[in-house]
Structure 1
Amino acid sequence: MTTIRREVLTLPAAPLGPDNPLPPLRPLDEAHRIDERDRAGLPRDMARQVGHEPLRSLLPLRVRDGYDRVREDREFDALVIENDRLRATVLPGLGGRVASLHHKPTDRELLYVNPVFQPANFALNGAWYSGGIEWNIGATGHTTLSCSPVHAARVPAPDGGEMLRLWEWERLRDLPFQVDLWLPEGSDFLYVGARIRNPHERPAATYWWSNIAVPEERRVLAPADEAWLFGYERRLRRVPVPAHDGADRTYPKNSRHPADWFYEVPEGRRRWIAALDEAGHGLVQTSTDVLRGRKLFVWGTGPGGRRWQEWLTEPGTGGYCEIQAGLARTQLEHVRLEAESEVSWLEAYGPLDASPEGEWHAVLREAEDRLETALPRADVEAAYAAWQPYADAEPGESLAAGSGWGALEVLRAGWKLPGTPFAESTLGEEQRPWLELLRAGALPEPQGREAPGVTLVARPWRDMLETTAATPLAEYHLGVAQWHGGDRAQAVRSWERGLKTADAGWPLLRCLAVADQEDGHHERAADRYAAAFDDLCEQPWDEPGASGGSSGGDDRAAVTAALGREAIEALLATGRTADARAVYERLRPETRARGRFRLTEAALLVAEGRHGEARAVFDEGFEVADLREGDEVIGRLWARLGDQPLPARHDFRMRPDGE
């Protein structure tokens, strides 16, 4: 019989650390943006969806950049769903990721399993880790829930057994979603029913890609003769499959540079993708037709891609690639979800045995025939139909708890969401000020001079902020909500009003500094950053209230590090090297020892003309734990020190012209 049980998974793990306490006001720097030169040549539906409500801000979330690269053994709660054929291990505290899918008759692991937990800056909001099957919802890029908990519970399955339900409230698009996993008795395939709901009275943009990490020593098969190739030079173009530019690109290691291959699966063709080793063993993913897209991501064999592979795991671990399935042709697109509607589909994951070698169409025919024998297309459709009545089934035993944000939204709007309850018991300290605003019409006053906490920016919350008492805290939050809504002039006026009576002015000064930078007033931005940092540092480190709870008392060291980093960058950009040095010297020693701030120190030394000392920083070695995907800041700074090749340990370049 199929069982669901709790286990503990122990991994060498780096701590996540505190989130960045400063609201992300700047436009989102997403690597997966299309060059405008390519838009005119796209099919009409693709062009429309590429331009449909792209994400421009991370608000109301915060950036997760507090992690480091020092790993110690840590226990993770795991949920194991198992029948006599398959065993799937799910991590509810890390986005509900399927960490392992083990085929018991052949004793084969079907996924790439990362032996460590090492966050890196790949998610939309920062921290992400590699391996397994991840559920990406929200907007182009890795989900903000990559390293966050989701709700989990037992629910009845269509075959009379049990399913594992995962659900959460996706905050970028303000949409609830669920993922139901079950293993029918005797099945070689893990079934996954997924649903995204839009309870609002307005359409919403949505996005979904199931990302499956597999070892890169594979051939990837998908029923297509063409693909849309997207690289980190941000060009999107149609290319043939399997061979392009003199090599068969369905072998991941035949590509030199990181790239996405979005397969053009013909209408009416079964939707599937597989990765097979040289012996013909591997994993296949298939689905109902709503999940139309299929993709291969490769790191490539160039130095930058190899370095990223090492960065995400530990020495001696094999590399990986990703096979993926999504709602649209490419990950550059967002799909319109009508008001008070939903979209749902069914996926299946299991073993596939077929020869990967030979002429492309012959290989595809054999693989598709083997898939049809193992799991007929009609059976996938039948499983989806059988699952649909159970999608609203109320959960039984709770197995894990996610955030309280869904509960807050349900309380605000009174929505009924059968199957995905967001109980008031999940409300926590982060939601407390907003619950008080909802019920009493006013935000509670902060204790001490703690950071203001998370701002809710959706229109209903902004309306409440506009009618509450105009305290400095309310003006701060209102300004952030107005900024997110595109009303920048009014946001500046709100922050300026709040600053007049604020005891702690640094949060408002920092917001005004960002506004100045975005408007091109860099000197004034530098002045405001310097004033904000001075104001923050006036409070002694050990003063009560300097470090409060998650409702707004962000750790003081995180506040100082985040504000200090931005202030130094703003001051260096205006040539105020001495002022930047003064800010740097006031940072805590343990902050200055972090890799990100060692890089800051090197940049500061270069600005001071002390190139030899800057070179010594590189020679001593440092690791920028939160280096962003595609960021070439290290290479640019190194180039200012001479013409020697960039050391391999600092080579994270992902563009062909970055070498």
Structure 2
Amino acid sequence: MVIVTRIRREVLTLPAAQLGQDNPLPPLRPLDEAHRTEDRDRDGMPADMARQLGQDPLRSLLPVRVRDGYDRAREPRALDALVMENDRLRATILPGLGGRVASLLHLPSGSELLYRNPVFQPANFALNGAWYSGGIEWNIGATGHTTLSCAPLHAARVPAPDGGEMLRLWEWERLRDLPFQVDLWLPDGSDFLYAGVRIRNPHERPVPTYWWSNIAVPEERRVLAPAEEAWHFGYQRRLRRVPVPSYDGVDRSHPLNSPYAADYFYDVPERRRRWIAALDADGHGLVQTSTDTLRGRKLFVWGHRPGGRRWQEWLTEPGTGGYCEIQAGLARTQLEHVRLDAESEVSWLEAYGPLDAPPEGEWTGAVRGAEERLESALPRAHVEQAYTTWKPYADTEPTEILAAGSGWGALEVLRADWKLPGTPFSEAMLGDAQAPWRELLRTGSLPEPRRVRPPGETLVAPHWRDMLETAPATPHTEYHLGVAQWHAGDRAQAVRSWERALPLAPSLWPLLRCLAVADQESGHHERAAERYADAFDDLCRERRDDGAAWTAAMAALGRETLQALLRVRRTADARTVWNRLLPAVRRRGRFRLLEAELLLAEGRPAGARAAFDAGLEVADLREGEEVLGRLWSRLTDEPLPARHDFRMRPDPA
């Protein structure tokens, strides 16, 4: 009996860490992104690839905030889930966590097609911090994991082309100011989950855009793709062409054969069908294919060296198995951004499902065999026809809202009166975060806060900056204007705005902190340290309670202040700041690491070593960050213990 696809709500209970509060300090510093390459690597590249490597790379996280308030204390927690099911597949989606497809179960065989993480453990891999591993994630914005990795998306039921139901996910991507949607549905009797994706540019100017669908699968697989060459990128930050599947005598199509974490961007020939598969030793696994617009295919591996294995443990429960990622994107590599013309859109269709094919043997034969099996299971023409059939449904309005995202898209639609059929951003979606900006839009004035609290988020797009420049110049407005000017590259004017606000501002610490960052960026580290110390002192006097918002502010400013003071060797002042931190903040791994650095600066290496011996865990350790190894080498000549080894590249020669 054919079961018509239906969508239902479920609660998924997992051992999960708390996400905590976002960092309230605007991210003014340049983006710390590991995926960069050198100009010399562009020699010999295709012209469009070389051009797109330099296509408006992201330089700032603004207006998005950093998510660094999470911990590693996991306990059973309930996560809202949406489940889609026909008689062949069951897909479990987490709308509150980036719309991640957490599970794709093939019902006839009982096989999980994805790597399903048994825990929810945020780690510092997204552009703005919190990210978690497993499932299928939708990456939009700029090179790296999306800022929506751990954020809620809007979700709703929508009629599907076959008369069943689609699940629509949509949001406003704030780094590029672009709305997007993902329509998921299971055709009756189909072994494939379809995903129709659309990104729209409503602006009167072109915008750089980026998309990669990242699919986590168990790493004990062979990964096949229709290519004879790939662009290899490792944490040495070099991009080079290598043969597929083997180079340096190693078959890299088996993820565990690679020693270090690395990306392999397959160079799929023009007019060749776009697909990638991961198959176990028995020839069973998952295949992803798409219409040709989704051009790129990639394999990411952690490698078998100690650092890669430690990251695998860090992201899940030790002993539960590791994963690799097979991916699909708009460009050849993730280092590129694609131009999306003014008032235009880009869309495509993806399909995810089981594949049975002999995985081993000579590469060309294995790829040909898998492609033939894919064509038999899901002909290329059927994918093209499904896209054509879906496209008119992309504008269909939702019939029932199932989950709520943010109000930022509603604010932009209210401002510009854009018409975006299929993805409603109604005024009812506006919340407290958007309230002052709605008032600025309505009256021309940014309202002063009604009570003392850390400042809210700043909008930095040119149209909001223009409104701030013409609004009454209150200290609160000057603070936000300075942040917007800084984002635009007008740093001198930003400093003037912050300095203008100081004499009348009821709250000094946000302004002093911005000025301290400006000092650091211009090389004035002593003055920056002094301003940081003054800002932290002002915050300690102003703090109203030990609630989550004030604790997040104390932690964020305390961390930057300690780092600034240690940089200029003001250890006594750094110790004073440390002693004023809330006990709950001092217990966090990042602050135990800072205390170890402080103890070493004070001439107490034994105390610093004790922090390591006590099992130091830095919850927000950044992808590629080597601070643990560097500090350890200052303390001892002993080998770095395995629990502290997160190295993702060979040691420099």
TM range (shorter): over 0.9
Matched, 1:179 2:173: no
Candidates 622, 628, 636, aligned match of 2:630: 636
Look up the match of 1:239: 242
Matched residue of 2:557: which SS?
Answer: helix
Look up the match of 2:356: 353
Residue ranges of structure 2 left out of the alignment (5+ in a row)? none
RMSD of aligned alpha carbons? 1.0
Structure 2 contact 543–550 (Cα < 8 Å) conserved: no
* Distance in 2 separating the partners of 1:199 and 1:306: 44
How many angstroms does 1:37 deviate by? 2.5
How many angstroms does 1:447 deviate by? 3.1
How many angstroms does 1:649 deviate by? 0.8
**Once the two structures are superposed, what CA deviation does each residue of 1:310-343 show, in whole Å capped at 9, x if it has no partner?**
0000121110000000000000000000000000
Matches within 5 A, 1:114-193: 114-193=117-196
* Distance in 1 separating the partners of 2:213 and 2:254: 21
* Distance in 2 separating the partners of 1:510 and 1:447: 22
Look up the match of 1:291: 294
* Distance in 1 separating the partners of 2:623 and 2:450: 37
Answer with 260-269 or 446-455: which moved more: 446-455
Matched residue of 1:391: which SS?
Answer: helix
How many angstroms does 1:41 deviate by? 3.2
Candidates 338, 341, 354, aligned match of 1:338: 341
Structure 2 contact 228–245 (Cα < 8 Å) conserved: yes
* Distance in 2 separating the partners of 1:471 and 1:658: 52
Matched, 1:496 2:502: no
How many angstroms does 1:540 deviate by? 5.1
* Distance in 2 separating the partners of 1:192 and 1:620: 47
Look up the match of 1:550: none
* Distance in 2 separating the partners of 1:448 and 1:77: 33
* Distance in 1 separating the partners of 2:505 and 2:452: 10
How many angstroms does 1:538 deviate by? 1.3
Matched, 1:647 2:650: no
**Once the two structures are superposed, what CA deviation does each residue of 1:4-34 show, in whole Å capped at 9, x if it has no partner?**
1111110010000000110000000000001
One-letter identity of the residue aligned with 1:590: A
* Distance in 2 separating the partners of 1:417 and 1:87: 30
* Distance in 1 separating the partners of 2:515 and 2:322: 45
**Once the two structures are superposed, what CA deviation does each residue of 1:53-80 show, in whole Å capped at 9, x if it has no partner?**
0000000011000000001111111111
Matched, 1:576 2:570: yes
Look up the match of 1:79: 82
Candidates 574, 581, 585, aligned match of 2:579: 585
Matches within 5 A, 1:557-576: 557-576=551-570
How many angstroms does 1:44 deviate by? 1.1
* Distance in 2 separating the partners of 1:650 and 1:359: 39
Matched, 1:431 2:422: no
Q: Percent identity?
A: 78
One-letter identity of the residue aligned with 2:592: R
* Distance in 1 separating the partners of 2:382 and 2:544: 63
How many angstroms does 1:539 deviate by? 2.4
Matched, 1:43 2:37: no
One-letter identity of the residue aligned with 1:606: L
Matched, 1:278 2:281: yes
Matched, 1:596 2:598: no
Candidates 209, 213, 223, aligned match of 2:212: 209
Answer with 571-580 or 202-211: which moved more: 571-580
Matched, 1:389 2:392: yes
* Distance in 2 separating the partners of 1:86 and 1:122: 30
Matched, 1:364 2:367: yes
Matched residue of 1:11: which SS?
Answer: strand
Structure 1 segments (4+ residues) deviating >6 Å: none
Look up the match of 1:513: 516
Matched residue of 2:438: which SS?
Answer: helix
Look up the match of 1:459: 462
Structure 2 contact 294–330 (Cα < 8 Å) conserved: yes
Matched residue of 1:431: which SS?
Answer: helix
One-letter identity of the residue aligned with 1:583: V
* Distance in 2 separating the partners of 1:497 and 1:639: 45
* Distance in 2 separating the partners of 1:540 and 1:628: 29
Matched, 1:89 2:92: yes
Candidates 519, 522, 525, aligned match of 1:522: 525
* Distance in 2 separating the partners of 1:43 and 1:579: 54
One-letter identity of the residue aligned with 1:13: A
One-letter identity of the residue aligned with 1:645: P
Structure 2 contact 265–333 (Cα < 8 Å) conserved: yes
How many angstroms does 1:541 deviate by? 4.3
One-letter identity of the residue aligned with 1:429: D
Candidates 577, 584, 603, aligned match of 1:609: 603
How many angstroms does 1:377 deviate by? 0.4
Matched, 1:536 2:539: yes
Matched, 1:258 2:253: no
Look up the match of 1:28: 31
Residue ranges of structure 1 left out of the alignment (5+ in a row)? 548-553
